[in-house]
Chain A
């Protein structure tokens, strides 16, 4: 058991002494997740509104597909993105494999169904009179969509945080697309996997603690927002 205790002490030491390798993984994780979540929200929230608000042929099928994609395995996303951006793939010339944007693309695919589905649910769960009220006050379709999303802001924000929690804690995409390259694409999760394999518990525990802190903060926020929604 001593090695676990020593691991905890070492982890605290790494965090307090601002160990460059540890902080490099944290910083890389934040860069990738920020990039992926930004594009996810930019596309996912409008798509979620369209899916939740409008009725159209095939909506139920589309909704089922989106909901199914909520359980998308990260290694499957990694595999697909790898196939497309590897040297032999259709987008191989872009040189995205083993880069931060490459990993962000994979995480974007992972998070998009979450934001679309939860935003659609937020809009569907809203009193239909809210949208009509906004329209009766003279709003254009675009203004009404923005105002409706604002009315469901707590639920939409909860969707964003849920998606962020998913991307920050995934390992499959980061490992397969990023390649776990030290100082470059090594993230918190891939570093934990590697260091644990090497028997270096200190860094694994330190990074795990940071990840848990992120997850705890995000879930507390989601829980708070769900109560407000």
Chain B
């Protein structure tokens, strides 16, 4: 697969403050990529750069193999972005869907296209096409906003928190519509979401952003706080319930550690004492299937922190894992990677 997007040494600043600092970033044509990270990490800014709504302060953006200095109309019309809590235009549902087609001059068979797009997002065209923007619920409005993008059959569909304000039924319908766009038209998907259960069912690859920097693996667990020095090269982070996470290495004070969910093992029993091995007691709060690997992402509440771990279906059955179960999380102190 060729790269549809490539970013090189991109820095983006607002009023002199760097919000994005990316050395290399590629999106393959036709893939479904998840962008994860805490609020303020630069995810939405990155989406706006990919949507050609903003030009990075420094660096190069390549689209379809060519460097983009000033995005052409053709580029901008192949890429569409669904903003977080995207407002609808103050028009009927039908007119909202037709707007993108009209500005492209694609005015043939609009009724049919509207019908198909509304059906894709699970809305009855006869019931909804003539409704005004204020006659829709929050979930319906978000589905109409998605349909307004799907009707364009975009080459790249960028979604910023598409399910943040919708119920589970709407989220399910939106997931199916997005996956249909990918399978039918080969649309490339780049999705930002905090709804991990949802995003793992839609995407095949995930990247994380932290303080504007891209992290090329998915650190589900970002452990921030005051790390205090202990014996040797070990450092300790105290949790609200008194348990302690041990990390090996040389962190700065108040630095952040990343812990890959693959390095976290779930056990029913507490292991023997070992200062280099963490054994934290917690309660499982959620379990979600990761679409690409078939593994299950298990989230466990430990003190005031939620720690994610990836387990196989077999392990899940053997341990009889379920939400509410008390378990022990094991991981080596050396598994923590320090982000200075």
Distance in Å from the Cβ of B249 to the closest Cβ of chain A? 42
Interfacial chain A residues near B89, Cβ < 8 Å: 130, 133-134, 147, 151
Cβ B152 vs Cβ A138 within 8 A: yes
Bound state CA distance, A139 and B52, in angstroms? 12
Q: Is A61 an interface residue (CB 8 A)?
A: no
Tell me which residues from 115 to 158 in chain A have a Cβ below 8 Å from any Cβ of chain B: 127, 129-130, 132-140, 143, 147, 150-151, 153
Q: Is B104 an interface residue (CB 8 A)?
A: yes
Bound state CA distance, A143 and B73, in angstroms? 12
Q: With A135-B53, A137-B80 in contact, is A129–B87 under 8 Å at CB?
A: yes
Cβ B103 vs Cβ A138 within 8 A: yes
Distance in Å from the Cβ of A156 to the closest Cβ of chain B? 12
Q: With A138-B76, A138-B77 in contact, is A133–B100 under 8 Å at CB?
A: no
Q: Is B83 an interface residue (CB 8 A)?
A: yes
Distance in Å from the Cβ of B118 to the closest Cβ of chain A? 16
Cβ A130 vs Cβ B99 within 8 A: no
B68-109 CB mask vs A (1 if < 8 Å, else 0) is 000001001100111101110110000000011001100000
Cβ A132 vs Cβ B80 within 8 A: no
Interfacial chain A residues near B104, Cβ < 8 Å: 138
**Interface core residue of A129, A133, A150, A153 (most chain B CB under 10 Å):** A133
Interfacial chain A residues near B145, Cβ < 8 Å: 133
Bound state CA distance, A22 and B282, in angstroms? 89
Cβ B83 vs Cβ A140 within 8 A: no
Q: Is B148 an interface residue (CB 8 A)?
A: yes
Distance in Å from the Cβ of A174 to the closest Cβ of chain B? 38
Bound state CA distance, A139 and B80, in angstroms? 11
Interfacial chain B residues near A150, Cβ < 8 Å: 90
Q: Is B51 an interface residue (CB 8 A)?
A: yes
Q: Which of A127, A140, A143, A147 contacts B87 (CB 8 A)?
A: A127
Closest to B100 in A: A137
Interfacial chain A residues near B80, Cβ < 8 Å: 136-138
Closest to A135 in B: B53
Bound state CA distance, A127 and B100, in angstroms? 19
Interfacial chain A residues near B51, Cβ < 8 Å: 136
Q: Which of A129, A135, A137 contacts B85 (CB 8 A)?
A: A129
Cβ A136 vs Cβ B83 within 8 A: yes
Q: Which of A129, A140, A147 contacts B86 (CB 8 A)?
A: A129
Cβ B87 vs Cβ A137 within 8 A: no
Distance in Å from the Cβ of A46 to the closest Cβ of chain B? 19
Distance in Å from the Cβ of B245 to the closest Cβ of chain A? 40
**Interface core residue of B73, B82, B87, B100 (most chain A CB under 10 Å):** B87
Interfacial chain B residues near A132, Cβ < 8 Å: 53, 83
**Interface core residue of A136, A140, A150 (most chain B CB under 10 Å):** A136
A-B contact pairs, 30 of them (CB 8 A): A127-B87, A129-B85, A129-B86, A129-B87, A132-B53, A132-B83, A133-B86, A133-B87, A133-B89, A133-B145, A136-B80, A136-B82, A136-B149, A137-B80, A137-B99, A137-B100, A137-B103, A137-B148, A137-B149, A138-B73, A138-B80, A138-B100, A138-B103, A138-B104, A138-B152, A139-B99, A139-B103, A143-B103, A150-B90, A151-B89
Binding site for B on A (CB under 8 A): 127, 129-130, 132-140, 143, 147, 150-151, 153
Interface contacts beyond A134-B99, A136-B81, A137-B103: sample of 19 additional A-B pairs, CB < 8 Å, sorted by A: A129-B83, A129-B85, A129-B86, A129-B87, A132-B83, A133-B83, A133-B87, A133-B89, A134-B89, A135-B76, A136-B80, A137-B100, A138-B76, A138-B100, A138-B103, A140-B73, A147-B89, A147-B99, A151-B89
